Structure 1
Protein backbone atom coordinates (compact mmCIF):
# COMPACT_ATOMS: atom_id res chain seq x y z
CA UNK A 1 0.00 0.00 0.00
CA UNK A 2 1.16 3.51 -0.70
CA UNK A 3 0.15 6.82 0.75
CA UNK A 4 -0.39 10.01 -1.25
CA UNK A 5 0.69 12.32 1.59
CA UNK A 6 3.03 10.69 4.13
CA UNK A 7 3.31 13.91 6.13
CA UNK A 8 -0.46 14.01 6.56
CA UNK A 9 -0.29 10.39 7.71
CA UNK A 10 2.25 11.31 10.38
CA UNK A 11 0.00 14.09 11.65
CA UNK A 12 -2.90 11.63 11.91
CA UNK A 13 -0.88 8.97 13.71
CA UNK A 14 0.70 11.35 16.19
CA UNK A 15 -2.47 13.34 16.72
CA UNK A 16 -3.48 14.77 20.06
CA UNK A 17 -6.27 12.87 21.82
CA UNK A 18 -9.69 13.92 20.59
CA UNK A 19 -12.25 15.31 22.99
CA UNK A 20 -15.31 15.52 20.75
CA UNK A 21 -18.86 14.47 21.70
CA UNK A 22 -19.06 10.79 22.67
CA UNK A 23 -22.00 10.12 20.34
CA UNK A 24 -20.58 12.01 17.37
CA UNK A 25 -18.22 10.74 14.73
CA UNK A 26 -14.56 10.91 15.68
CA UNK A 27 -11.33 9.48 14.35
CA UNK A 28 -11.01 7.19 17.37
CA UNK A 29 -14.51 5.77 16.80
CA UNK A 30 -13.69 5.20 13.14
CA UNK A 31 -10.49 3.35 14.03
CA UNK A 32 -12.19 1.14 16.63
CA UNK A 33 -14.99 0.27 14.21
CA UNK A 34 -12.47 -0.55 11.48
CA UNK A 35 -10.57 -2.87 13.85
CA UNK A 36 -13.78 -4.70 14.72
CA UNK A 37 -14.59 -5.11 11.03
CA UNK A 38 -11.11 -6.42 10.18
CA UNK A 39 -11.22 -8.80 13.15
CA UNK A 40 -14.43 -10.28 11.80
CA UNK A 41 -13.77 -10.28 8.04
CA UNK A 42 -10.03 -9.89 7.58
CA UNK A 43 -8.31 -7.02 5.83
CA UNK A 44 -9.94 -7.97 2.52
CA UNK A 45 -13.31 -7.17 4.07
CA UNK A 46 -12.26 -3.70 5.19
CA UNK A 47 -13.62 -0.73 3.27
CA UNK A 48 -14.55 2.83 4.12
CA UNK A 49 -18.16 2.08 3.17
CA UNK A 50 -18.42 -0.88 5.55
CA UNK A 51 -16.90 1.10 8.39
CA UNK A 52 -19.37 3.93 7.75
CA UNK A 53 -22.25 1.43 7.75
CA UNK A 54 -21.12 0.07 11.12
CA UNK A 55 -21.14 3.54 12.58
CA UNK A 56 -24.36 4.66 10.95
CA UNK A 57 -22.77 7.49 8.98
CA UNK A 58 -22.19 8.17 5.32
CA UNK A 59 -18.92 7.18 3.68
CA UNK A 60 -18.16 10.81 2.87
CA UNK A 61 -18.38 11.74 6.54
CA UNK A 62 -15.47 9.39 7.26
CA UNK A 63 -13.26 11.20 4.77
CA UNK A 64 -13.51 14.36 6.89
CA UNK A 65 -11.47 12.51 9.52
CA UNK A 66 -9.21 10.15 7.54
CA UNK A 67 -8.14 10.55 3.90
CA UNK A 68 -8.52 6.91 2.88
CA UNK A 69 -8.19 3.22 3.59
CA UNK A 70 -4.35 3.16 3.60
CA UNK A 71 -4.13 5.79 6.31
CA UNK A 72 -6.91 4.04 8.22
CA UNK A 73 -4.91 0.79 8.24
CA UNK A 74 -1.89 2.61 9.70
CA UNK A 75 -4.11 4.05 12.42
CA UNK A 76 -5.55 0.59 13.15
CA UNK A 77 -2.06 -0.91 13.43
CA UNK A 78 -0.94 1.70 15.92
CA UNK A 79 -4.11 1.30 17.97
CA UNK A 80 -3.64 -2.45 18.43
CA UNK A 81 0.06 -1.95 19.20
CA UNK A 82 -1.18 -0.13 22.28
CA UNK A 83 -2.42 -3.47 23.62
CA UNK A 84 1.12 -4.46 24.57
CA UNK A 85 1.51 -4.24 28.37
CA UNK A 86 3.68 -1.42 29.61
CA UNK A 87 5.31 -3.36 32.46
CA UNK A 88 8.57 -5.01 31.47
CA UNK A 89 9.01 -8.62 32.67
CA UNK A 90 11.93 -9.47 34.92
CA UNK A 91 14.81 -11.65 33.86
CA UNK A 92 17.59 -11.66 31.33
CA UNK A 93 17.45 -10.71 27.68
CA UNK A 94 16.02 -14.08 26.59
CA UNK A 95 13.12 -13.96 29.06
CA UNK A 96 12.28 -10.40 28.01
CA UNK A 97 12.52 -11.14 24.30
CA UNK A 98 10.44 -14.31 24.66
CA UNK A 99 7.82 -12.40 26.62
CA UNK A 100 7.49 -9.68 24.01
CA UNK A 101 7.23 -12.31 21.24
CA UNK A 102 4.39 -14.04 23.07
CA UNK A 103 2.64 -10.72 23.60
CA UNK A 104 2.92 -10.01 19.88
CA UNK A 105 1.52 -13.45 19.08
CA UNK A 106 -1.43 -12.98 21.44
CA UNK A 107 -2.26 -9.66 19.81
CA UNK A 108 -2.15 -11.30 16.38
CA UNK A 109 -4.46 -14.10 17.49
CA UNK A 110 -6.94 -11.38 18.46
CA UNK A 111 -6.24 -9.34 15.31
CA UNK A 112 -4.89 -11.76 12.65
CA UNK A 113 -5.29 -9.13 9.92
CA UNK A 114 -2.10 -7.47 11.20
CA UNK A 115 -0.11 -10.04 9.26
CA UNK A 116 -2.03 -9.17 6.08
CA UNK A 117 -0.66 -5.64 6.03
CA UNK A 118 1.96 -5.76 3.32
CA UNK A 119 4.54 -3.28 2.11
CA UNK A 120 7.50 -1.48 3.64
CA UNK A 121 6.14 2.07 3.81
CA UNK A 122 3.59 1.95 6.59
CA UNK A 123 4.16 4.86 8.92
CA UNK A 124 4.63 4.03 12.62
CA UNK A 125 2.65 5.81 15.27
CA UNK A 126 3.51 6.42 18.93
CA UNK A 127 2.36 2.98 20.13
CA UNK A 128 4.27 1.20 17.39
CA UNK A 129 7.44 3.18 18.00
CA UNK A 130 7.24 2.61 21.77
CA UNK A 131 6.80 -1.12 21.20
CA UNK A 132 9.72 -1.26 18.77
CA UNK A 133 11.90 0.70 21.17
CA UNK A 134 11.10 -1.75 23.95
CA UNK A 135 11.86 -4.74 21.73
CA UNK A 136 15.27 -3.26 20.93
CA UNK A 137 15.90 -2.60 24.62
CA UNK A 138 15.50 -6.29 25.49
CA UNK A 139 18.95 -6.90 24.00
CA UNK A 140 20.61 -4.02 25.82
CA UNK A 141 23.63 -5.22 27.74
CA UNK A 142 24.44 -8.09 25.40
CA UNK A 143 27.54 -8.10 23.25
CA UNK A 144 25.52 -7.93 20.04
CA UNK A 145 26.55 -5.23 17.59
CA UNK A 146 23.96 -2.47 17.03
CA UNK A 147 23.20 -3.77 13.54
CA UNK A 148 22.72 -7.27 14.97
CA UNK A 149 20.27 -6.02 17.60
CA UNK A 150 18.17 -4.47 14.83
CA UNK A 151 18.47 -7.62 12.69
CA UNK A 152 17.38 -9.91 15.54
CA UNK A 153 14.28 -7.83 16.28
CA UNK A 154 13.42 -7.72 12.57
CA UNK A 155 13.80 -11.49 12.31
CA UNK A 156 11.61 -12.07 15.34
CA UNK A 157 8.91 -9.75 14.00
CA UNK A 158 8.89 -11.50 10.62
CA UNK A 159 8.61 -14.89 12.32
CA UNK A 160 5.58 -13.83 14.37
CA UNK A 161 3.94 -12.30 11.29
CA UNK A 162 4.56 -15.45 9.24
CA UNK A 163 2.87 -17.59 11.89
CA UNK A 164 -0.02 -15.13 12.07
CA UNK A 165 -0.38 -15.14 8.28
CA UNK A 166 -0.86 -18.92 8.35
CA UNK A 167 -3.62 -18.37 10.90
CA UNK A 168 -5.21 -15.75 8.64
CA UNK A 169 -5.14 -18.02 5.60
CA UNK A 170 -6.63 -20.94 7.54
CA UNK A 171 -9.51 -18.83 8.87
CA UNK A 172 -10.12 -17.33 5.44
CA UNK A 173 -10.44 -20.76 3.83
CA UNK A 174 -12.72 -21.99 6.60
CA UNK A 175 -14.98 -18.97 6.18
CA UNK A 176 -15.05 -19.36 2.42
CA UNK A 177 -15.71 -23.11 2.35
CA UNK A 178 -17.59 -23.66 5.58
CA UNK A 179 -15.29 -26.65 6.19
CA UNK A 180 -12.68 -26.78 8.93
CA UNK A 181 -9.02 -27.39 8.10
CA UNK A 182 -9.08 -30.77 9.87
CA UNK A 183 -12.21 -31.88 8.03
CA UNK A 184 -10.87 -30.81 4.63
CA UNK A 185 -7.56 -32.68 4.99
CA UNK A 186 -9.32 -35.66 6.57
CA UNK A 187 -11.31 -36.10 3.36
CA UNK A 188 -8.23 -36.35 1.11
CA UNK A 189 -8.03 -40.14 1.21
CA UNK A 190 -7.30 -40.42 -2.52
CA UNK A 191 -4.15 -38.34 -1.98
CA UNK A 192 -2.92 -40.44 0.94
CA UNK A 193 -3.28 -43.62 -1.12
CA UNK A 194 -0.67 -42.24 -3.50
CA UNK A 195 1.96 -41.45 -0.85
CA UNK A 196 3.12 -45.02 -0.22
CA UNK A 197 5.73 -44.75 -2.96
CA UNK A 198 7.62 -42.04 -1.07
CA UNK A 199 9.88 -43.72 1.51
CA UNK A 200 10.67 -40.78 3.81
CA UNK A 201 7.04 -39.67 4.04
CA UNK A 202 5.99 -43.28 4.64
CA UNK A 203 8.56 -43.82 7.39
CA UNK A 204 7.59 -40.62 9.20
CA UNK A 205 3.91 -41.50 8.83
CA UNK A 206 4.37 -45.02 10.20
CA UNK A 207 6.42 -43.78 13.16
CA UNK A 208 3.74 -41.27 14.16
CA UNK A 209 5.37 -38.11 12.91
CA UNK A 210 2.01 -36.51 12.09
CA UNK A 211 0.09 -37.92 15.07
CA UNK A 212 1.14 -35.20 17.50
CA UNK A 213 2.54 -32.30 15.47
CA UNK A 214 4.72 -29.69 17.09
CA UNK A 215 3.14 -26.33 17.85
CA UNK A 216 4.67 -24.33 15.03
CA UNK A 217 4.84 -21.07 16.98
CA UNK A 218 6.37 -22.61 20.10
CA UNK A 219 8.81 -24.74 18.14
CA UNK A 220 9.89 -21.85 15.92
CA UNK A 221 10.25 -19.39 18.79
CA UNK A 222 12.45 -21.76 20.78
CA UNK A 223 14.69 -22.49 17.82
CA UNK A 224 14.96 -18.80 16.92
CA UNK A 225 15.90 -17.83 20.48
CA UNK A 226 18.41 -20.68 20.62
CA UNK A 227 20.12 -19.20 17.58
CA UNK A 228 20.15 -15.71 19.08
CA UNK A 229 21.54 -17.11 22.33
CA UNK A 230 24.39 -18.79 20.46
CA UNK A 231 25.22 -15.46 18.79
CA UNK A 232 25.05 -13.57 22.10
CA UNK A 233 27.41 -16.08 23.69
CA UNK A 234 29.78 -15.76 20.75
CA UNK A 235 29.76 -11.98 21.02
CA UNK A 236 30.20 -12.07 24.81
CA UNK A 237 33.30 -14.22 24.36
CA UNK A 238 34.81 -11.62 22.03
CA UNK A 239 33.36 -8.50 23.71
CA UNK A 240 36.83 -7.09 24.33
CA UNK A 241 37.59 -7.39 20.62
CA UNK A 242 34.87 -5.00 19.42
CA UNK A 243 34.46 -1.25 19.62
CA UNK A 244 32.56 -0.30 22.77
CA UNK A 245 30.76 2.47 20.93
CA UNK A 246 29.65 0.99 17.58
CA UNK A 247 30.41 -2.73 17.85
CA UNK A 248 32.83 -2.83 14.94
CA UNK A 249 35.52 -5.54 15.23
CA UNK A 250 38.82 -4.03 16.40
CA UNK A 251 42.13 -4.44 14.66
CA UNK A 252 44.84 -5.76 17.00
CA UNK A 253 46.78 -2.95 18.66
CA UNK A 254 50.39 -2.84 17.40
CA UNK A 255 51.72 -2.19 20.89
CA UNK A 256 50.84 -0.66 24.21
CA UNK A 257 47.35 -0.66 25.72
CA UNK A 258 44.61 -2.76 24.04
CA UNK A 259 42.28 -0.80 21.77
CA UNK A 260 38.82 0.06 23.08
CA UNK A 261 37.40 2.07 20.17
CA UNK A 262 37.69 1.50 16.44
CA UNK A 263 38.27 5.17 15.63
CA UNK A 264 38.86 8.59 17.08
CA UNK A 265 35.27 9.51 16.19
CA UNK A 266 33.84 6.65 18.30
CA UNK A 267 36.11 7.59 21.18
CA UNK A 268 34.86 11.18 21.05
CA UNK A 269 31.21 10.10 20.86
CA UNK A 270 31.68 7.88 23.91
CA UNK A 271 33.36 10.74 25.78
CA UNK A 272 30.49 13.14 24.95
CA UNK A 273 27.95 10.60 26.17
CA UNK A 274 29.71 10.24 29.49
CA UNK A 275 29.90 14.02 29.87
CA UNK A 276 26.22 14.54 29.11
CA UNK A 277 24.95 11.38 30.81
Structure 2
Protein backbone atom coordinates (compact mmCIF):
# COMPACT_ATOMS: atom_id res chain seq x y z
CA UNK A 1 0.00 0.00 0.00
CA UNK A 2 1.20 3.51 -0.79
CA UNK A 3 0.34 4.62 2.74
CA UNK A 4 2.93 2.25 4.20
CA UNK A 5 5.47 3.27 1.58
CA UNK A 6 4.97 6.91 2.57
CA UNK A 7 5.26 6.21 6.29
CA UNK A 8 8.30 3.98 6.07
CA UNK A 9 10.01 5.39 3.01
CA UNK A 10 12.34 8.38 2.58
CA UNK A 11 10.62 11.72 3.14
CA UNK A 12 13.36 14.12 2.08
CA UNK A 13 13.67 13.20 -1.59
CA UNK A 14 12.58 16.13 -3.75
CA UNK A 15 10.30 15.64 -6.72
CA UNK A 16 10.34 17.64 -9.93
CA UNK A 17 8.55 20.48 -8.18
CA UNK A 18 11.25 20.62 -5.51
CA UNK A 19 8.77 19.52 -2.84
CA UNK A 20 9.45 16.78 -0.33
CA UNK A 21 7.07 14.77 1.83
CA UNK A 22 8.80 16.20 4.89
CA UNK A 23 8.20 19.79 3.75
CA UNK A 24 4.52 19.08 3.11
CA UNK A 25 4.06 17.42 6.51
CA UNK A 26 5.88 20.25 8.29
CA UNK A 27 3.66 22.85 6.63
CA UNK A 28 0.55 20.85 7.49
CA UNK A 29 1.57 20.57 11.14
CA UNK A 30 2.23 24.30 11.31
CA UNK A 31 -1.28 24.99 10.02
CA UNK A 32 -2.87 22.53 12.45
CA UNK A 33 -0.85 23.91 15.37
CA UNK A 34 -1.64 27.56 14.70
CA UNK A 35 -5.08 27.49 13.07
CA UNK A 36 -6.60 24.18 14.17
CA UNK A 37 -7.27 20.95 12.34
CA UNK A 38 -10.39 22.35 10.65
CA UNK A 39 -8.16 24.77 8.74
CA UNK A 40 -6.11 21.93 7.29
CA UNK A 41 -6.69 20.94 3.68
CA UNK A 42 -4.51 20.06 0.75
CA UNK A 43 -5.26 23.52 -0.62
CA UNK A 44 -4.25 25.33 2.58
CA UNK A 45 -0.99 23.37 2.70
CA UNK A 46 -0.28 24.22 -0.94
CA UNK A 47 -0.94 27.90 -0.24
CA UNK A 48 1.41 27.77 2.74
CA UNK A 49 4.12 26.30 0.51
CA UNK A 50 3.38 28.62 -2.40
CA UNK A 51 2.66 25.84 -4.89
CA UNK A 52 -0.34 24.52 -6.77
CA UNK A 53 -2.60 22.12 -4.93
CA UNK A 54 -2.24 19.37 -7.51
CA UNK A 55 1.53 19.30 -7.00
CA UNK A 56 0.97 17.88 -3.51
CA UNK A 57 -0.82 14.83 -4.85
CA UNK A 58 2.35 13.72 -6.59
CA UNK A 59 3.77 13.09 -3.12
CA UNK A 60 0.75 12.38 -0.89
CA UNK A 61 -2.56 10.92 -2.18
CA UNK A 62 -4.85 12.89 0.11
CA UNK A 63 -5.66 14.37 3.49
CA UNK A 64 -6.09 11.02 5.28
CA UNK A 65 -2.57 9.95 4.36
CA UNK A 66 -1.27 13.41 5.26
CA UNK A 67 -2.77 13.16 8.74
CA UNK A 68 -1.17 9.74 9.25
CA UNK A 69 2.18 11.27 8.35
CA UNK A 70 1.55 14.18 10.72
CA UNK A 71 0.74 11.85 13.60
CA UNK A 72 3.78 9.69 13.04
CA UNK A 73 5.99 12.77 12.78
CA UNK A 74 4.57 14.11 16.05
CA UNK A 75 5.40 10.82 17.76
CA UNK A 76 9.03 11.32 16.76
CA UNK A 77 9.13 14.26 19.20
CA UNK A 78 8.44 12.14 22.28
CA UNK A 79 11.77 10.57 23.11
CA UNK A 80 15.39 11.28 22.27
CA UNK A 81 16.13 7.54 22.34
CA UNK A 82 14.05 4.40 22.59
CA UNK A 83 15.74 3.68 25.95
CA UNK A 84 14.83 7.06 27.45
CA UNK A 85 11.69 6.02 29.39
CA UNK A 86 13.29 2.90 30.87
CA UNK A 87 16.43 4.83 31.86
CA UNK A 88 14.64 7.33 34.10
CA UNK A 89 16.08 7.48 37.66
CA UNK A 90 14.07 5.28 39.99
CA UNK A 91 12.00 2.19 39.37
CA UNK A 92 9.46 1.37 36.68
CA UNK A 93 7.06 3.98 38.09
CA UNK A 94 9.47 6.76 37.11
CA UNK A 95 9.51 5.47 33.56
CA UNK A 96 5.73 5.39 33.34
CA UNK A 97 5.42 8.86 34.87
CA UNK A 98 7.87 10.11 32.25
CA UNK A 99 5.83 8.48 29.49
CA UNK A 100 2.59 10.01 30.74
CA UNK A 101 4.15 13.46 31.11
CA UNK A 102 5.70 13.40 27.64
CA UNK A 103 2.41 12.34 26.04
CA UNK A 104 0.59 15.06 28.01
CA UNK A 105 3.06 17.66 26.74
CA UNK A 106 2.78 16.37 23.18
CA UNK A 107 -1.01 16.72 23.18
CA UNK A 108 -0.81 20.26 24.56
CA UNK A 109 1.79 21.18 21.93
CA UNK A 110 -0.33 19.66 19.15
CA UNK A 111 -4.00 19.73 20.28
CA UNK A 112 -5.14 18.67 16.81
CA UNK A 113 -3.86 15.18 17.60
CA UNK A 114 -6.79 14.75 19.99
CA UNK A 115 -9.23 15.26 17.12
CA UNK A 116 -7.77 12.96 14.47
CA UNK A 117 -6.95 9.77 16.36
CA UNK A 118 -9.23 6.92 15.32
CA UNK A 119 -8.44 4.19 17.82
CA UNK A 120 -6.38 2.36 15.22
CA UNK A 121 -2.61 2.72 15.14
CA UNK A 122 -0.92 4.62 12.34
CA UNK A 123 1.63 1.79 12.03
CA UNK A 124 4.42 4.17 11.13
CA UNK A 125 8.07 3.91 12.19
CA UNK A 126 7.90 6.54 14.92
CA UNK A 127 4.75 5.04 16.39
CA UNK A 128 6.49 1.65 16.41
CA UNK A 129 9.42 3.16 18.31
CA UNK A 130 6.96 4.87 20.67
CA UNK A 131 5.32 1.55 21.50
CA UNK A 132 8.69 -0.15 22.04
CA UNK A 133 9.96 2.69 24.24
CA UNK A 134 6.81 2.80 26.35
CA UNK A 135 6.65 -0.94 26.95
CA UNK A 136 10.21 -1.29 28.17
CA UNK A 137 9.66 0.07 31.72
CA UNK A 138 7.02 -2.67 32.17
CA UNK A 139 9.25 -5.48 30.96
CA UNK A 140 10.72 -8.05 33.36
CA UNK A 141 8.25 -7.16 36.13
CA UNK A 142 6.37 -10.44 36.05
CA UNK A 143 3.46 -9.14 34.00
CA UNK A 144 2.15 -11.06 31.02
CA UNK A 145 2.48 -9.47 27.60
CA UNK A 146 -1.25 -8.71 27.56
CA UNK A 147 -1.04 -7.15 31.04
CA UNK A 148 1.88 -4.99 29.90
CA UNK A 149 -0.08 -3.77 26.89
CA UNK A 150 -3.21 -3.14 28.96
CA UNK A 151 -1.27 -1.25 31.64
CA UNK A 152 0.32 1.02 29.06
CA UNK A 153 -2.97 1.54 27.25
CA UNK A 154 -4.67 2.52 30.51
CA UNK A 155 -2.05 5.19 31.15
CA UNK A 156 -2.23 6.53 27.60
CA UNK A 157 -6.03 6.65 27.52
CA UNK A 158 -6.08 8.43 30.89
CA UNK A 159 -3.50 10.93 29.64
CA UNK A 160 -5.36 11.53 26.39
CA UNK A 161 -8.67 12.10 28.17
CA UNK A 162 -7.21 14.59 30.63
CA UNK A 163 -5.32 16.39 27.88
CA UNK A 164 -8.54 16.67 25.89
CA UNK A 165 -10.27 18.20 28.92
CA UNK A 166 -7.39 20.65 29.29
CA UNK A 167 -7.51 21.74 25.64
CA UNK A 168 -11.29 22.20 25.86
CA UNK A 169 -10.80 24.36 28.96
CA UNK A 170 -8.12 26.38 27.18
CA UNK A 171 -10.36 26.90 24.15
CA UNK A 172 -13.29 27.92 26.35
CA UNK A 173 -11.08 30.41 28.16
CA UNK A 174 -9.85 31.84 24.85
CA UNK A 175 -13.32 32.09 23.33
CA UNK A 176 -14.91 33.62 26.43
CA UNK A 177 -12.07 36.01 27.19
CA UNK A 178 -12.34 34.97 30.83
CA UNK A 179 -9.93 32.86 32.88
CA UNK A 180 -11.24 29.93 34.90
CA UNK A 181 -10.50 31.85 38.09
CA UNK A 182 -12.49 34.86 36.84
CA UNK A 183 -15.34 32.57 35.76
CA UNK A 184 -15.39 30.95 39.18
CA UNK A 185 -15.39 34.26 41.05
CA UNK A 186 -18.36 35.41 38.95
CA UNK A 187 -20.36 32.21 39.15
CA UNK A 188 -19.64 30.75 42.59
CA UNK A 189 -21.85 33.30 44.42
CA UNK A 190 -24.69 32.64 41.97
CA UNK A 191 -24.36 28.92 42.53
CA UNK A 192 -24.49 29.40 46.29
CA UNK A 193 -27.86 31.12 45.90
CA UNK A 194 -29.53 28.26 44.02
CA UNK A 195 -27.91 25.19 45.59
CA UNK A 196 -29.64 24.12 48.79
CA UNK A 197 -27.04 22.30 50.94
CA UNK A 198 -29.79 20.39 52.72
CA UNK A 199 -30.89 18.89 49.40
CA UNK A 200 -27.41 18.37 47.95
CA UNK A 201 -25.27 17.96 51.08
CA UNK A 202 -22.46 15.91 49.57
CA UNK A 203 -22.16 17.66 46.21
CA UNK A 204 -22.44 21.11 47.81
CA UNK A 205 -19.62 20.31 50.23
CA UNK A 206 -17.36 18.62 47.69
CA UNK A 207 -18.09 21.13 44.94
CA UNK A 208 -17.24 24.04 47.21
CA UNK A 209 -14.00 22.43 48.36
CA UNK A 210 -12.95 21.53 44.82
CA UNK A 211 -13.90 24.94 43.46
CA UNK A 212 -11.91 26.73 46.14
CA UNK A 213 -8.92 24.45 45.52
CA UNK A 214 -8.97 24.72 41.73
CA UNK A 215 -10.44 28.22 41.41
CA UNK A 216 -12.35 26.62 38.55
CA UNK A 217 -14.99 23.99 37.97
CA UNK A 218 -12.25 21.41 37.43
CA UNK A 219 -8.50 21.04 37.03
CA UNK A 220 -7.53 18.58 34.28
CA UNK A 221 -3.83 18.68 35.25
CA UNK A 222 -4.66 17.75 38.84
CA UNK A 223 -6.93 14.96 37.61
CA UNK A 224 -4.18 13.75 35.28
CA UNK A 225 -1.59 13.53 38.05
CA UNK A 226 -4.01 12.16 40.64
CA UNK A 227 -5.33 9.49 38.30
CA UNK A 228 -1.85 8.53 37.13
CA UNK A 229 -0.76 7.78 40.69
CA UNK A 230 -3.86 5.66 41.27
CA UNK A 231 -3.12 3.71 38.08
CA UNK A 232 0.49 3.16 39.16
CA UNK A 233 -0.72 1.93 42.54
CA UNK A 234 -2.98 -0.55 40.78
CA UNK A 235 -0.17 -1.80 38.55
CA UNK A 236 2.09 -2.16 41.60
CA UNK A 237 -0.57 -4.26 43.32
CA UNK A 238 -0.90 -6.45 40.23
CA UNK A 239 2.87 -6.99 40.18
CA UNK A 240 2.87 -7.78 43.91
CA UNK A 241 0.00 -10.26 43.59
CA UNK A 242 1.70 -12.09 40.74
CA UNK A 243 5.05 -12.28 42.53
CA UNK A 244 3.44 -13.73 45.65
CA UNK A 245 1.28 -16.29 43.86
TM-score by length of 1: 0.75
Compute the RMSD of aligned alpha carbons: 2.2
Q: Which has the larger radius of gyration?
A: 1
Change in CA separation of 1:220 and 1:15 when aligned onto 2, cut-off 3 Å: same
**What is the distance in 2 between the residues matched to 1:227 and 1:121?**
26
Structure 2, unaligned runs of 5 or more? none
1:130 aligns with 2:129: yes
Match of 2:237 in 1: 230
Equivalent runs, 1:94-243 vs 2, <5 Å: 94-188=93-187, 189-197=189-197, 198-205=200-207, 208-213=209-214, 215-238=222-245
**1:74–1:122 CA contact under 8 A, matched in 2:** no
Q: Distance in 1 between matches of 2:166 and 2:116?
A: 14
CA 1:167–1:37: 2 relative to 1, 3 Å? farther
Deviation at 1:36, TM superposition (A): 1.4
CA contact (8 A) 2:13 2:21 kept: no
| Structure with more of its chain in helix, by fraction | 2
Report the counterpart of residue 36 of structure 1 in structure 2: 30
Cα distance in 2 for residues equivalent to 1:223 and 1:165: 19
The answer for unaligned runs of 5 or more in structure 1 is 1-6, 239-277
Query: C-alpha separation between the residues in 2 aligned to 1:152 and 1:236?
Result: 17
1:83 and 2:77 are equivalent in the alignment: yes
Task: For residue 185 of structure 1, report the CA deviation from its aligned partner.
Answer: 4.5
Check whether the contact 1:9–1:123 (CA below 8 A) recurs between aligned residues. no
